[in-house]
Chain A
Amino acid sequence: METLVAFTVGVMAAGSVYLLLSHNLVRVLFGLILLSNAANFVIFAAGGMTEGLPPLIGLGEKALTGVYSNPLPQALILTAIVISFGLLAFALVLVYRGYQELGTVDSDRMRLAEPPHPDQDIPEPEEPGRLHVRDASRRVENLGSPQS
């Protein structure tokens, strides 16, 4: 089974990286979802996969007996799932706010924090009249000045 998983997570990881490398941030988010699923799967399989009994101690017993699945990776993954959910929610909101400010989900056009090098060509805004990175960098310079 683990061998099968090894190939499955390989494909999942490849797919997620392909999505992460996109300049469409929605696809990047999808890549993030896929990557966290793959990572959890990796941890689970690395701890050994035993079909059947969950690590629950039977009534009257003092410890786990017989064949049971490995509890340690389960505890690790359980929190990892919740954390990657928190991360994803935050990233989603970030993309959404980025869209509100810059009118695009194209990461190539989001150059507010790192203004383009002199010879780099940044595409024009998708919607006419939207903030272009040129204006954006100007706005960053003005941040310190008092609001009119």
Chain B
Amino acid sequence: MMDSLILRTATRLLLSLMLLFSFFILLRGHNEPGGGFIGGLIAASAFALHSIAFGPRALRTVLVFDPRSIAGVGMLCAIAAGLFSAVMGDAFLTAGWLHWGEGDAVFHVGTPLLFDVGVFLVVIGAVLTIVLALEEEDV
């Protein structure tokens, strides 16, 4: 934890901005540069920054859930995305899609999105598990 007023003030603002950005990166990843890995890393850095500014205890309050649980939920999302097709009789992890609209204005949503959300959560969870455990070392 760094006791710096500038860092703390900036972090308050940056955390929400970076989190918002990470969601944006996650969701647009299928069509533009981005995706679960990148989004997850951005969100993780945002939280890590917060923990440097305010300490691990504050970060745990912000996170609500233990990072290990976040990683676990991420794994479950990714596996669930795969099981969906397995239940439908296809090979494990075959993508399933729903489409709305016509022509160029089609909106696609499918299991790869759930899978990418899983990747996103696992990266956040794993990174923060390590960061928090290290930060809490000499508390």
Contact = CB atoms under 8 A, between A and B. Distances in A.
Judge: A and B partners, yes or no. yes
Interface of A: 54, 56, 59-60, 78-79, 82, 85-86, 89-90, 93, 96
B41 A54 contact: no
A54 B123 CA distance: 24
Given A54-B33, A56-B32, A79-B37, A93 B104 contact: no
Given A60-B104, A93-B130, A82 B33 contact: no
B27 interface: no
Interface in B55-112: 104
B134 A93 contact: yes
Given A56-B33, A85-B127, A93-B133, 5 more contacts: A59-B104, A78-B37, A79-B37, A89-B127, A96-B134
B117 to A, nearest CB: 16
Contacts of B130: 89-90, 93
A79 to B, nearest CB: 7
Interface of B: 31-33, 37, 41, 104, 123, 126-127, 130, 133-134
A86 to B, nearest CB: 6
Contacts of B134: 93, 96
A36 to B, nearest CB: 15
20 contacts: A54-B33, A56-B31, A56-B32, A56-B33, A59-B104, A60-B104, A78-B37, A79-B37, A82-B37, A82-B41, A82-B123, A85-B127, A86-B126, A89-B127, A89-B130, A90-B130, A93-B130, A93-B133, A93-B134, A96-B134
Contacts of A90: 130
Nearest to A89: B130
Contacts of A79: 37
Nearest to B130: A89
Nearest to B137: A96
B99 to A, nearest CB: 15
Contacts of A93: 130, 133-134
Nearest to A81: B37
A78 B127 CA distance: 16
Contacts of A59: 104
A93 B131 CA distance: 10
Nearest to B38: A78
A85 B123 CA distance: 11
A89 B123 CA distance: 13
A89 B134 CA distance: 10
A90 to B, nearest CB: 8
